Structure 1
Amino acid sequence: MPYPPSPRVPPGPRRRSLLASVAGGALLVGCSDGTGSGEEGTAGSPSVVERARARAARDSQGIVGRYDAVLAAHPALAGLLGPLRWEAARHAEAFGAGTAAPTATASPTPTPTPASSPPPASSPPVAVPATEKDALAELAAAERALADRRARALLEVPGELARLLASVAAAGAAHAYLLTEGAR
Protein backbone atom coordinates (compact mmCIF):
# COMPACT_ATOMS: atom_id res chain seq x y z
CA MET A 1 0.00 0.00 0.00
CA PRO A 2 1.47 3.38 -1.01
CA TYR A 3 1.99 6.00 1.60
CA PRO A 4 -0.04 9.20 1.34
CA PRO A 5 1.90 12.39 0.46
CA SER A 6 3.51 14.15 3.37
CA PRO A 7 1.39 17.01 4.73
CA ARG A 8 4.48 19.28 4.70
CA VAL A 9 4.88 19.27 0.88
CA PRO A 10 2.14 21.40 -0.69
CA PRO A 11 0.91 20.38 -4.12
CA GLY A 12 2.19 22.36 -7.12
CA PRO A 13 5.62 23.68 -8.08
CA ARG A 14 8.29 23.77 -5.44
CA ARG A 15 10.13 26.87 -4.35
CA ARG A 16 13.39 25.70 -5.94
CA SER A 17 11.66 25.19 -9.28
CA LEU A 18 10.19 28.67 -9.14
CA LEU A 19 13.50 30.27 -8.23
CA ALA A 20 15.28 28.43 -11.02
CA SER A 21 12.62 29.52 -13.50
CA VAL A 22 12.83 33.16 -12.42
CA ALA A 23 16.64 33.14 -12.60
CA GLY A 24 16.58 31.50 -16.03
CA GLY A 25 14.04 34.04 -17.27
CA ALA A 26 16.17 36.91 -16.01
CA LEU A 27 19.17 35.53 -17.85
CA LEU A 28 17.20 35.22 -21.08
CA VAL A 29 15.91 38.77 -20.81
CA GLY A 30 19.46 40.08 -20.29
CA CYS A 31 20.82 38.32 -23.37
CA SER A 32 21.22 40.07 -26.68
CA ASP A 33 21.22 38.55 -30.13
CA GLY A 34 23.86 41.03 -31.30
CA THR A 35 21.53 42.71 -33.81
CA GLY A 36 21.92 46.08 -32.22
CA SER A 37 19.49 45.92 -29.34
CA GLY A 38 21.33 46.86 -26.18
CA GLU A 39 24.39 48.03 -28.10
CA GLU A 40 23.30 51.57 -28.87
CA GLY A 41 24.44 54.41 -26.68
CA THR A 42 22.23 57.29 -25.70
CA ALA A 43 21.29 60.25 -27.87
CA GLY A 44 22.65 58.74 -31.07
CA SER A 45 26.15 58.01 -29.78
CA PRO A 46 28.13 55.22 -31.45
CA SER A 47 27.45 51.66 -30.34
CA VAL A 48 29.76 49.76 -28.03
CA VAL A 49 30.86 47.67 -31.02
CA GLU A 50 31.69 50.73 -33.13
CA ARG A 51 33.69 52.31 -30.31
CA ALA A 52 35.57 49.08 -29.59
CA ARG A 53 36.32 48.57 -33.28
CA ALA A 54 37.59 52.15 -33.66
CA ARG A 55 39.76 51.81 -30.53
CA ALA A 56 41.22 48.52 -31.82
CA ALA A 57 41.96 50.12 -35.21
CA ARG A 58 43.73 53.06 -33.52
CA ASP A 59 45.73 50.67 -31.33
CA SER A 60 46.80 48.67 -34.38
CA GLN A 61 47.81 51.84 -36.20
CA GLY A 62 49.80 52.85 -33.14
CA ILE A 63 51.72 49.59 -33.04
CA VAL A 64 52.43 49.91 -36.79
CA GLY A 65 53.84 53.37 -36.02
CA ARG A 66 56.08 51.83 -33.37
CA TYR A 67 57.34 49.23 -35.82
CA ASP A 68 58.03 51.99 -38.36
CA ALA A 69 59.96 54.04 -35.81
CA VAL A 70 62.11 51.06 -34.79
CA LEU A 71 62.73 50.17 -38.45
CA ALA A 72 63.76 53.76 -39.19
CA ALA A 73 66.21 53.77 -36.26
CA HIS A 74 67.48 50.20 -36.75
CA PRO A 75 67.18 49.12 -40.41
CA ALA A 76 69.14 45.94 -39.69
CA LEU A 77 66.05 44.58 -37.90
CA ALA A 78 63.98 44.60 -41.11
CA GLY A 79 64.22 40.82 -41.50
CA LEU A 80 62.70 40.22 -38.08
CA LEU A 81 60.28 43.15 -37.91
CA GLY A 82 59.02 43.19 -41.51
CA PRO A 83 56.58 40.28 -41.23
CA LEU A 84 55.38 41.37 -37.78
CA ARG A 85 54.76 44.94 -38.97
CA TRP A 86 52.91 43.61 -42.00
CA GLU A 87 50.62 41.55 -39.75
CA ALA A 88 50.00 44.54 -37.47
CA ALA A 89 48.97 46.57 -40.51
CA ARG A 90 46.61 43.76 -41.54
CA HIS A 91 45.09 43.86 -38.05
CA ALA A 92 44.41 47.58 -38.43
CA GLU A 93 42.76 46.88 -41.76
CA ALA A 94 40.64 44.10 -40.23
CA PHE A 95 39.32 46.55 -37.65
CA GLY A 96 38.37 48.97 -40.41
CA ALA A 97 41.28 51.39 -40.34
CA GLY A 98 42.31 52.88 -43.66
CA THR A 99 45.97 52.15 -43.03
CA ALA A 100 48.75 51.33 -45.39
CA ALA A 101 48.29 47.61 -45.01
CA PRO A 102 49.65 45.67 -47.96
CA THR A 103 47.17 44.61 -50.59
CA ALA A 104 45.92 41.05 -50.76
CA THR A 105 48.21 40.36 -53.72
CA ALA A 106 51.35 41.28 -51.80
CA SER A 107 53.63 38.52 -50.64
CA PRO A 108 53.21 37.49 -46.99
CA THR A 109 56.73 38.62 -46.08
CA PRO A 110 57.29 41.85 -47.97
CA THR A 111 60.47 43.81 -47.60
CA PRO A 112 59.41 46.62 -45.28
CA THR A 113 60.36 50.18 -45.88
CA PRO A 114 60.24 52.53 -42.91
CA ALA A 115 58.50 55.21 -44.92
CA SER A 116 55.82 52.88 -46.33
CA SER A 117 53.27 53.89 -43.71
CA PRO A 118 53.61 56.88 -41.43
CA PRO A 119 52.18 56.58 -37.94
CA PRO A 120 48.71 58.02 -37.44
CA ALA A 121 48.67 61.81 -37.46
CA SER A 122 47.37 61.97 -33.88
CA SER A 123 50.26 59.90 -32.50
CA PRO A 124 53.23 61.64 -30.94
CA PRO A 125 56.63 60.62 -32.30
CA VAL A 126 57.86 57.36 -30.82
CA ALA A 127 61.18 57.48 -28.98
CA VAL A 128 63.30 54.49 -29.94
CA PRO A 129 66.05 53.13 -27.69
CA ALA A 130 69.59 53.41 -29.02
CA THR A 131 70.37 49.67 -29.01
CA GLU A 132 68.58 47.07 -31.11
CA LYS A 133 68.12 44.80 -28.09
CA ASP A 134 66.41 47.55 -26.08
CA ALA A 135 64.28 48.56 -29.07
CA LEU A 136 63.07 44.97 -29.49
CA ALA A 137 62.36 44.66 -25.76
CA GLU A 138 60.33 47.87 -25.79
CA LEU A 139 58.40 46.76 -28.88
CA ALA A 140 57.72 43.37 -27.25
CA ALA A 141 56.39 45.11 -24.14
CA ALA A 142 54.09 47.27 -26.28
CA GLU A 143 52.77 44.19 -28.14
CA ARG A 144 52.22 42.35 -24.85
CA ALA A 145 50.37 45.29 -23.28
CA LEU A 146 48.17 45.66 -26.36
CA ALA A 147 47.39 41.92 -26.41
CA ASP A 148 46.41 42.11 -22.74
CA ARG A 149 44.11 45.10 -23.34
CA ARG A 150 42.44 43.30 -26.22
CA ALA A 151 41.95 40.16 -24.16
CA ARG A 152 40.18 42.23 -21.48
CA ALA A 153 38.05 43.98 -24.13
CA LEU A 154 36.64 40.61 -25.23
CA LEU A 155 34.21 40.70 -22.34
CA GLU A 156 32.64 43.95 -23.52
CA VAL A 157 31.77 43.11 -27.12
CA PRO A 158 29.53 40.55 -28.80
CA GLY A 159 30.25 37.65 -31.17
CA GLU A 160 32.21 38.45 -34.28
CA LEU A 161 34.19 41.38 -32.87
CA ALA A 162 35.07 39.32 -29.79
CA ARG A 163 36.41 36.54 -32.02
CA LEU A 164 38.44 39.05 -34.04
CA LEU A 165 39.84 40.62 -30.86
CA ALA A 166 40.75 37.17 -29.52
CA SER A 167 42.55 36.27 -32.72
CA VAL A 168 44.45 39.55 -32.88
CA ALA A 169 45.30 39.37 -29.16
CA ALA A 170 46.76 35.89 -29.70
CA ALA A 171 48.77 37.17 -32.66
CA GLY A 172 50.04 40.08 -30.56
CA ALA A 173 51.13 37.69 -27.82
CA ALA A 174 52.98 35.63 -30.44
CA HIS A 175 54.62 38.82 -31.75
CA ALA A 176 55.75 39.68 -28.22
CA TYR A 177 57.27 36.22 -27.86
CA LEU A 178 59.08 36.44 -31.20
CA LEU A 179 60.37 39.92 -30.37
CA THR A 180 61.59 38.70 -26.98
CA GLU A 181 63.39 35.77 -28.61
CA GLY A 182 64.84 38.14 -31.24
CA ALA A 183 66.27 40.35 -28.50
CA ARG A 184 68.33 37.46 -27.11
Structure 2
Amino acid sequence: MPFPSSPRVLTGPRRRSLLASAAGAALLVGCSTGSDSGGAGESPSPDERVRARAARDSEELARRYDAVMAAHPALAERLRPLRAQVAAHVEAFGGTAKASPGVTAPTAPPSGSTAAPTGSATPEGSGSPDGSRAPAGAEASGSPAAQQTAKSALAGLAAAERSLSDRRTAVLIQVPGELARLLASVAAAGAAHAYLLTEGDK
Protein backbone atom coordinates (compact mmCIF):
# COMPACT_ATOMS: atom_id res chain seq x y z
CA MET A 1 0.00 0.00 0.00
CA PRO A 2 1.56 3.38 -0.97
CA PHE A 3 2.50 5.74 1.80
CA PRO A 4 0.90 9.19 1.85
CA SER A 5 3.16 11.77 0.27
CA SER A 6 2.29 14.71 2.50
CA PRO A 7 3.91 15.00 5.98
CA ARG A 8 0.71 16.58 7.25
CA VAL A 9 -1.05 13.25 7.44
CA LEU A 10 1.63 11.61 9.58
CA THR A 11 0.62 10.95 13.16
CA GLY A 12 2.91 11.02 16.18
CA PRO A 13 5.89 12.58 14.40
CA ARG A 14 9.27 12.00 15.97
CA ARG A 15 11.32 14.81 17.39
CA ARG A 16 14.03 14.60 14.73
CA SER A 17 11.54 14.63 11.87
CA LEU A 18 9.94 17.76 13.27
CA LEU A 19 13.33 19.39 13.69
CA ALA A 20 14.01 18.68 10.04
CA SER A 21 10.60 20.06 9.11
CA ALA A 22 11.20 23.26 11.06
CA ALA A 23 14.65 23.64 9.52
CA GLY A 24 13.16 23.16 6.07
CA ALA A 25 10.58 25.83 6.78
CA ALA A 26 13.36 28.20 7.79
CA LEU A 27 15.15 27.51 4.51
CA LEU A 28 11.98 28.31 2.59
CA VAL A 29 11.66 31.51 4.56
CA GLY A 30 15.22 32.42 3.66
CA CYS A 31 14.39 32.50 -0.04
CA SER A 32 11.12 34.40 0.34
CA THR A 33 12.17 37.70 1.84
CA GLY A 34 11.11 40.04 -0.95
CA SER A 35 8.48 42.67 -0.20
CA ASP A 36 6.24 44.81 -2.35
CA SER A 37 7.43 48.14 -1.02
CA GLY A 38 5.76 51.16 -2.50
CA GLY A 39 7.44 54.41 -3.42
CA ALA A 40 8.56 56.92 -0.83
CA GLY A 41 5.68 58.70 0.83
CA GLU A 42 3.08 56.16 -0.21
CA SER A 43 0.83 54.53 2.35
CA PRO A 44 1.73 50.89 3.03
CA SER A 45 -0.31 48.37 1.12
CA PRO A 46 -2.40 45.75 2.96
CA ASP A 47 0.28 43.16 2.15
CA GLU A 48 3.01 45.39 3.61
CA ARG A 49 0.96 45.83 6.76
CA VAL A 50 0.61 42.05 7.08
CA ARG A 51 4.38 41.69 6.68
CA ALA A 52 5.10 44.41 9.23
CA ARG A 53 2.71 42.87 11.74
CA ALA A 54 4.23 39.42 11.19
CA ALA A 55 7.73 40.82 11.75
CA ARG A 56 6.63 42.50 15.00
CA ASP A 57 4.95 39.30 16.19
CA SER A 58 8.14 37.32 15.58
CA GLU A 59 10.21 40.01 17.33
CA GLU A 60 7.96 39.72 20.37
CA LEU A 61 8.24 35.94 20.29
CA ALA A 62 12.04 36.20 20.16
CA ARG A 63 11.92 38.43 23.25
CA ARG A 64 9.86 35.78 25.03
CA TYR A 65 12.52 33.19 24.21
CA ASP A 66 15.19 35.55 25.56
CA ALA A 67 13.25 36.08 28.79
CA VAL A 68 12.84 32.34 29.36
CA MET A 69 16.52 31.64 28.63
CA ALA A 70 17.54 34.43 31.00
CA ALA A 71 15.28 33.13 33.76
CA HIS A 72 16.15 29.46 33.14
CA PRO A 73 19.71 29.24 31.77
CA ALA A 74 19.57 25.42 31.81
CA LEU A 75 17.05 25.63 28.95
CA ALA A 76 19.28 27.80 26.75
CA GLU A 77 20.85 24.97 24.76
CA ARG A 78 17.44 23.54 23.98
CA LEU A 79 15.82 26.86 23.08
CA ARG A 80 18.60 28.59 21.18
CA PRO A 81 18.01 26.78 17.82
CA LEU A 82 14.29 27.55 17.97
CA ARG A 83 14.96 31.16 18.87
CA ALA A 84 17.38 31.40 15.91
CA GLN A 85 14.60 30.28 13.58
CA VAL A 86 12.25 32.88 15.04
CA ALA A 87 14.93 35.51 14.32
CA ALA A 88 15.11 34.22 10.74
CA HIS A 89 11.34 34.70 10.49
CA VAL A 90 11.71 38.33 11.59
CA GLU A 91 14.12 38.95 8.71
CA ALA A 92 11.95 37.01 6.27
CA PHE A 93 9.10 39.42 6.96
CA GLY A 94 11.37 42.42 6.45
CA GLY A 95 12.22 43.16 10.07
CA THR A 96 15.63 43.36 11.71
CA ALA A 97 16.35 40.47 14.03
CA LYS A 98 18.21 41.23 17.23
CA ALA A 99 20.96 38.89 18.33
CA SER A 100 20.15 36.63 21.22
CA PRO A 101 21.89 37.85 24.38
CA GLY A 102 24.44 35.62 26.01
CA VAL A 103 22.70 33.47 28.59
CA THR A 104 24.46 32.91 31.86
CA ALA A 105 23.13 31.96 35.25
CA PRO A 106 22.42 35.09 37.30
CA THR A 107 25.00 35.55 40.03
CA ALA A 108 24.15 37.09 43.39
CA PRO A 109 26.29 40.05 44.54
CA PRO A 110 28.54 39.50 47.56
CA SER A 111 26.78 39.62 50.90
CA GLY A 112 26.05 43.18 51.93
CA SER A 113 27.05 44.60 48.55
CA THR A 114 24.86 47.26 46.99
CA ALA A 115 26.89 47.69 43.82
CA ALA A 116 25.01 47.64 40.54
CA PRO A 117 25.84 44.91 38.00
CA THR A 118 29.01 45.66 36.08
CA GLY A 119 28.99 46.62 32.43
CA SER A 120 30.38 43.20 31.51
CA ALA A 121 26.92 41.75 32.04
CA THR A 122 25.49 43.98 29.33
CA PRO A 123 25.78 42.73 25.74
CA GLU A 124 27.39 45.13 23.31
CA GLY A 125 24.92 47.63 21.92
CA SER A 126 22.31 46.94 24.60
CA GLY A 127 20.25 49.46 26.52
CA SER A 128 17.39 49.85 24.05
CA PRO A 129 13.87 49.44 25.47
CA ASP A 130 12.96 46.74 22.93
CA GLY A 131 14.44 44.24 25.37
CA SER A 132 15.80 41.72 22.91
CA ARG A 133 19.41 42.60 23.75
CA ALA A 134 18.93 43.25 27.43
CA PRO A 135 21.49 41.86 29.89
CA ALA A 136 21.12 38.14 30.32
CA GLY A 137 20.06 38.41 33.94
CA ALA A 138 18.13 41.65 33.68
CA GLU A 139 14.78 40.10 32.81
CA ALA A 140 15.31 37.01 34.92
CA SER A 141 14.35 38.66 38.20
CA GLY A 142 11.21 40.53 37.15
CA SER A 143 9.81 38.80 34.08
CA PRO A 144 6.85 36.40 34.24
CA ALA A 145 9.23 33.64 33.10
CA ALA A 146 11.20 34.07 36.33
CA GLN A 147 8.09 33.34 38.36
CA GLN A 148 7.54 30.02 36.56
CA THR A 149 9.08 26.61 36.71
CA ALA A 150 11.08 25.56 33.68
CA LYS A 151 8.24 23.29 32.60
CA SER A 152 5.59 26.00 32.80
CA ALA A 153 7.90 28.47 31.02
CA LEU A 154 8.25 25.99 28.16
CA ALA A 155 4.49 25.51 28.11
CA GLY A 156 4.03 29.27 27.89
CA LEU A 157 6.40 29.47 24.93
CA ALA A 158 4.60 26.58 23.25
CA ALA A 159 1.25 28.32 23.71
CA ALA A 160 2.66 31.52 22.19
CA GLU A 161 4.06 29.61 19.21
CA ARG A 162 0.78 27.76 18.69
CA SER A 163 -1.34 30.90 18.95
CA LEU A 164 0.85 32.78 16.48
CA SER A 165 0.85 29.82 14.09
CA ASP A 166 -2.96 29.72 14.17
CA ARG A 167 -3.24 33.47 13.54
CA ARG A 168 -0.90 33.27 10.56
CA THR A 169 -2.79 30.35 9.10
CA ALA A 170 -6.03 32.31 9.43
CA VAL A 171 -4.80 35.17 7.22
CA LEU A 172 -3.49 32.99 4.39
CA ILE A 173 -6.60 33.52 2.28
CA GLN A 174 -6.28 37.29 2.59
CA VAL A 175 -2.85 37.66 0.97
CA PRO A 176 -1.34 36.85 -2.44
CA GLY A 177 0.61 33.70 -3.30
CA GLU A 178 4.17 34.61 -2.31
CA LEU A 179 3.24 36.10 1.04
CA ALA A 180 0.74 33.30 1.68
CA ARG A 181 3.46 30.74 1.05
CA LEU A 182 5.79 32.54 3.44
CA LEU A 183 3.13 32.73 6.16
CA ALA A 184 2.31 29.05 5.69
CA SER A 185 5.97 28.10 5.99
CA VAL A 186 6.47 30.11 9.17
CA ALA A 187 3.18 28.87 10.63
CA ALA A 188 4.33 25.28 10.04
CA ALA A 189 7.64 26.01 11.77
CA GLY A 190 5.76 27.52 14.71
CA ALA A 191 3.57 24.44 15.04
CA ALA A 192 6.70 22.27 15.03
CA HIS A 193 8.27 24.47 17.69
CA ALA A 194 5.17 24.14 19.87
CA TYR A 195 5.41 20.35 19.60
CA LEU A 196 9.11 20.30 20.45
CA LEU A 197 8.64 22.58 23.44
CA THR A 198 6.05 20.32 25.05
CA GLU A 199 6.42 16.84 23.56
CA GLY A 200 9.81 16.62 21.96
CA ASP A 201 11.65 14.87 24.78
CA LYS A 202 8.96 12.41 25.87
Q: Indicate whether the TM-score tops 0.5.
A: yes
8 A contact 1:133–1:183 mirrored in 2: no
8 A contact 1:140–1:177 mirrored in 2: yes
Aligned pair partner of 2:61 in 51, 63, 75:
63
Instruction: Give, in whole Å, the separation in 1 of the partners of 2:176 and 2:84.
Output: 27
Over aligned residues, Cα RMSD in angstroms? Answer: 3.0
8 A contact 1:141–1:176 mirrored in 2: yes
Whichever of the two has the greater Rg, that structure is: 1
Instruction: Give, in whole Å, the separation in 2 of the partners of 1:165 and 1:66.
Output: 20
Per-residue CA deviations over 1:115-174 (Å, capped at 9, x if unaligned) read 779797299x85214200000000000000000000001111101110000000000000
Residues 139-178 of structure 1 aligned to structure 2 (within 5 Å): 139-178=157-196
Higher relative contact order, structure no. (Cα contacts within 8 Å, ≥ 6 residues apart): 2
Counterpart for residue 113 of structure 1 = 102
Corresponding pairs, count: 134
After TM superposition, what 4+ stretches of structure 1 lie above 3 angstroms from structure 2? 114-120
Shift of residue 113, structure 1, vs aligned partner: 2.4
Counterpart for residue 144 of structure 2 = 127
Instruction: Give, in whole Å, the separation in 2 of the partners of 1:171 and 1:136.
Output: 16
SS at match of 1:62: helix
Counterpart for residue 48 of structure 2 = 50
Counterpart for residue 4 of structure 1 = none
**Runs of 5+ consecutive residues of structure 1 not aligned to the other structure:** 1-35, 103-111
* 1:138 and 2:147 are equivalent in the alignment: no
The percent identity for this pair of structures is 61
Instruction: Give, in whole Å, the separation in 1 of the partners of 2:192 and 2:148.
Output: 24
TM-score (normalizing by structure 2): 0.59
Instruction: Give, in whole Å, the separation in 1 of the partners of 2:180 and 2:129.
Output: 24
**Runs of 5+ consecutive residues of structure 2 not aligned to the other structure:** 1-35, 104-121, 133-141
Shift of residue 71, structure 1, vs aligned partner: 0.3
8 A contact 1:67–1:139 mirrored in 2: yes
